[in-house]
Amino acid sequence: MADWYETFEHDVLVIGAGGAGMRAAIAAVEAGLSVGLVCKSLLGKAHTVMAEGGIAAALGNVDPRDNWQAHFIDTMRGGKLINDYRMVEIFAREVPDRVYELEQWGGLFDRTPDGKILQRPFGAHTYPRACHVGDRTGLELIRTLQDKAVHSRIEVYMEVTLTWLLKDAERIAGAFGYRREDGRFVLFRAKAVILATGGWGKVYKVTSNSWECTGDGCAMAYDAGAELMDMEMVQFHPTGMVWPPGVRGILVTEAVRGEGGVLRNSLGERFMERYDPKKKELSSRDVVARSIYEEVRAGRGSPHGGAFLDITHWEPEFIKRKLPSMYEQFLKLANIDITKSPMEVAPTVHYVMGGVRVEAGTGATTVPGLFAVGEVAAGLHGANRLGGNSLGDLLVFGKRAGEHAAAYVGGLRAAPQVDEHQAEEERTLLQRPFEGDGQENPFGLHEELQEVMSTHAGIARTGEGLAQGLEKVGALQKRVEGLRVGGSRLFNPGWHACRDVRFMLTLCEAIFRSAIERQESRGAHWRLDYPNQDPQWGTLNVVVYRDGKMKATTRPVPQMPLDLARLIQQTA
Amino acid sequence: MAEATFHVFRGDAKGGDLVTYGVPVTEGMVVLDGIHYIQAHLDGTLACRWNCKAAKCGSCSAEINGHPRLMCKTRVDDFKGEPITVRPMKAFPVIKDLVSDVSWNYRVNKQIPPFTPSPYDPGPWKMYPEDVERLFEFRKCIECFLCQDVCHVLREHDGFDRYMGPRFMVRVAALEMHPKDTLSRTDLLRGSGGIGFCNITKCCEEVCPEHIHITDNAIIPLKERMADDYFDPWRSLLRVFGKKKEPRGT
Ligand SMILES: Cc1cc2nc3c(=O)[nH]c(=O)nc-3n(C[C@H](O)[C@H](O)[C@H](O)COP(=O)(O)OP(=O)(O)OC[C@H]3O[C@@H](n4cnc5c(N)ncnc54)[C@H](O)[C@@H]3O)c2cc1C
Ligand code: SF4
Ligand code: SF4
Ligand code: FES
């Protein structure tokens, strides 16, 4: 064995310690296996910690009419019917148990006066469904799972970035990467790998996402031969902060609208009455984001190119209790007291519905031994994710991926063997920015890429613009070979950024290819040259795969059985 | 455009010094923006931690002009044009630049017995708003470790082997006061927890970005609970026979 890297060995390796990764690791360790859990940040700091508004689960505590069928219908319709109905059914049925389980593990939620978990309304949910703790639901979720994980036998590797999946012929055999702290290389041997690496909002400039969201897992899966699906579906959350510039993109939780916040344009009109007279501010995110965009385009935007979100009709005490971090955040960062004045908001990149294509109940990808779960996986949300449906996704499919990875390992006859050459090649790639005479700055390249994405793959798209964007990505892919950094491998952010940019370029190419392929407007994907939803496209997912180079094609959406199809029609 | 002067600690475990950078100031800019500007335009090797940029993850702790604070929540215009000095947290060993080794905290956390409800009470539970709301304060902790950084038991007296520090007093308080928890952690507090070393100077409370009343609402009630357990003969008998702890108003 070579001595230029450290080696670790586990039955199951979980990459990512957000909600999805932690829940998966807990399930796999409970199945009696040896589990390694890797994350880029310190434990408990993953992107999930930022989630605010709630976990959608049809407990029926606030409105007893809510049930899994209603959750199923809302989610399918929100996703414009290109969701995998099998995932949605499993999700809607199981998420209440996962929420109660969280409570059994010490998680605490806001309560109803009669002692049950309190629920609040969210966009496009028929009944109040989001279980929450003020506006820090993600922190509660992650801390609860963290406490559970810490007292299990899970081996945690913090501040480690993995960059390459190792294979034994077709099967997964482990992963390779480096410690962020000192740049030492690490090799994990594993019989199964679960990707829980989250999304890639960082490919855009204005985003609510943390630095970790560079889509490493999705790009690694693609490199390993997995299929990516619905990559054109990038969610613009209608309400990000817009001013001052330093806070642009920071999320204003949907809970503000859930608690009665109203959107107005510069004329003071409650413009959602025009776009969705029934649900108004509580319409789905794609609709609200587009409406704000239209208002700005029509010259009725707020001073910094957005809209006003107003909750001042409530008592200050109520606002401070229900939305404490929003209150603090605006006061501290924007000098605005939201109990007295409206917030200025604009759409911000928030979530990706697309990702690695997985089997509905198990999270298995097309690569044997490779599983994907959470934001990195596709299928549950279709063309638009409803608020609160992500945190539930992490819990339901996290548990399932952990269990199915364990079952896969149990069924293996021989352990896969690691091929050291694969690691050697990746090391060469990683070290390249220290050598040679290139001049490209990774941060500069990243900024240029963000510019390309905002210009050509933003909220409103055209075929022509997308084609130009794809070309620009191609040009950046050539320049990536000239990346250079100074210093050593000791905690070197510039060096870390070099690999991230490579991953992001792969993802952006996939976004462009998929967006060009889908010639219609559906959910988050809005094509000005194909402004309508086309029923023919409603039966198709767009898939990207590698065959020498990147190719895009379509796959039929799984067809719902009659009883479920009828459920949806009845409420149409 | 106006420029801010940043003096940033550059170095590693072997030592280091302040390095000066000029950073263009934009409206509403926070210290973390300045650090990012330096990384992107002046020196890509400058190391720091951050995740959320919204005071929610507790990653970006540092000492700014001598005060332990979150970089993402500290406005540059608060300093009115004065130079801004940014150093890593002092109580923990430096790894590089603004990144310090906080692994000790994770080891301490492991020693705290986890939430333990009764196996005979499977739920869904009834808990009333008044049962849980006082715990929310403790659950707000974002593990920034700023309180650990200023606690003089740790910082000045190097008491890492004697006292768990304020963060973990908050953690234990959240567990002890959970209406469904059945364990008693007073032995731990008295033993390796070292709660007796805290003399309630409240330095920790002053720096907590989540405004948690660490001493008033966590440490003092825990001290009282411990005194009860050890000096009230009836309660200590209950403890010996492993009875369920009584709900108490702390
Ligand atoms: C501000 C905000 C508010 C939100 N509010 C809500 C809400 O109210 N309700 C809701 O349902 N959803 C909400 N969401 C969405 C939700 O938080 C995310 O979709 C979800 O947390 C994703 O979780 P995850 O476990 O898939 O990934 P993440 O939490 O993103 O975790 C990814 C993990 O993978 C690790 N990782 C990534 N790449 C690598 C690599 N190369 N090597 C090693 N480790 C790696 C990271 O370090 C991290 O630990 C919100 C999101 C934001 C940004
Ligand atoms: S009050 Fe106690 S815990 Fe807080 S800083 Fe002082 S000694 Fe440390
Ligand atoms: S108690 Fe406050 S200061 Fe201490 S770690 Fe938690 S949030 Fe930070
Ligand atoms: S970056 Fe998360 S607290 Fe500052």
Asked if the model's pLDDT at residue A525 lies above 90, the reply is yes
Q: Is residue A154 a contact partner of residue A29, using CB atoms and an 8 Å limit?
A: yes
Q: Tell me what the mean pLDDT of segment A145-150 comes to.
A: 97
Report ipTM (2 d.p.).
Answer: 0.93
Q: Counting beta carbons within 10 angstroms of the beta carbon of residue A362, is it exposed (0 to 12), middle (13 to 18) or buried (19 or more)?
A: middle
What span, in angstroms and rounded, lies between the C-alpha atoms of A330 and A301? 20
What span, in angstroms and rounded, lies between the C-alpha atoms of A392 and A92? 9
Query: SS3 helix, strand, coil % of chain B, rounded to 5?
Result: 40, 15, 45
Query: How do residues A460-480 score in pLDDT, each as one tens digit?
Result: 999 999 999 999 999 999 999
Question: Atom of ligand 3 at shortest distance to CA of B145?
Answer: 5
Of B170, B171, B203, B205, the residue with max ligand 3 atoms within 8 A of its CB, to mutate for a pocket test, comes to B170
- Contact of B119 with chain A, judged by CB distance below 8 Å, is answered with no
**Nearest chain B residue (CA) to A209:** B52
**Percent share of chain A, pLDDT over 90:** 89
Of B90, B108, B149, B153, the residue with max ligand 2 atoms within 8 A of its CB, to mutate for a pocket test, comes to B153
Query: How do residues A55-107 score in pLDDT, each as one tens digit?
Result: 999 999 999 999 999 999 999 999 999 999 999 999 999 999 999 999 999 99
Q: Is residue B152 a contact partner of residue B159, using CB atoms and an 8 Å limit?
A: no
- Contact of B178 with chain A, judged by CB distance below 8 Å, is answered with yes
Query: How do residues A509-524 score in pLDDT, each as one tens digit?
Result: 999 999 999 999 999 9
**Taking chain A, what is the end-to-end CA distance rounded to the nearest angstrom?**
62
Respond yes or no on whether the N-terminal peptide bond of residue A433 is cis (omega within 30° of 0).
no
Cβ-based contacts under 8 A for chains A and B: 172
Asked if the model's pLDDT at residue A319 lies above 50, the reply is yes
**Ramachandran assignment for B11, one of left (phi > 0), alpha (psi -120 to 50 degrees), beta (any other):** left
Secondary structure (DSSP) of B144-204: --HHHHH-HHHHTT-GGGT---HHHHHHHHHHHT-TTB----HHHHHTTT-GGG-----HH
Q: Is residue A345 a contact partner of residue A306, using CB atoms and an 8 Å limit?
A: yes
Token representation of residue A533: 């939803």
Helix residue ranges per DSSP H, A151-194: none
Going by CA atoms, what residue is nearest to atom 2 of ligand 2?
A: B198
Nearest residue to A551 via CA among A166, A200, A225: A225
Residue A322 pLDDT grade (very low, low, confident, very high; cuts 50, 70, 90): confident
A190: Cβ contacts below 8 Å, ≥ 6 apart = A9, A10, A11, A12, A13, A36, A172, A173, A174, A175
Which residue's entry shows tokens 């809510």? A66
A79: Cβ contacts below 8 Å, ≥ 6 apart = A88, A353, A380, A381, A382, A383, A384, A385, A523
Residue A135 pLDDT grade (very low, low, confident, very high; cuts 50, 70, 90): confident
- As separate numbers, helices (DSSP H) first and strands (DSSP E) second, chain B gives 10, 7
User: Beta strands A171-179 and A160-168: pairing type?
Assistant: antiparallel
Q: Among the options A132, A180, A189, A257, which is catalytic?
A: A257
**In which element (H, E) is residue B22 found?**
strand B15-24
Is A257 a residue of the active site?
Answer: yes
Least confident of A153-157, A436-440, A445-449: A436-440
Nearest residue to A190 via CA among A12, A392, A354: A12
Query: How do residues B141-172 score in pLDDT, each as one tens digit?
Result: 999 999 999 999 999 999 999 999 999 999 99
Q: Is residue B98 a contact partner of residue B70, using CB atoms and an 8 Å limit?
A: no
Q: Mind telling me how many Å the CA of B197 is from chain A's nearest CA?
A: 26
Helix residue ranges per DSSP H, chain B: 31-37, 103-110, 129-139, 146-150, 152-155, 166-176, 186-190, 203-207, 220-231, 233-240
Cα–Cα distances (Å) from B135 to B141, B171, B212, B217, in that order, read: 11, 10, 11, 10
- Average of per-residue pLDDT values in chain A: 95
What span, in angstroms and rounded, lies between the C-alpha atoms of A61 and A75? 19
Query: How do residues A277-309 score in pLDDT, each as one tens digit?
Result: 999 999 988 999 999 999 999 999 999 999 999
Question: What residues of A are in contact with residue B47 (Cβ under 8 Å)?
Answer: 490-493
Asked if the model's pLDDT at residue B244 lies above 70, the reply is no
- Measure CA B151 to chain center: 10
Asked if residue A235 has its Cβ within 6 Å of ligand 1, the reply is no
Q: Do A492 and B135 touch (CB under 8 A)?
A: no
Q: Return residues 216-275 of A near B (CB < 8 Å).
A: 243-247, 250-251
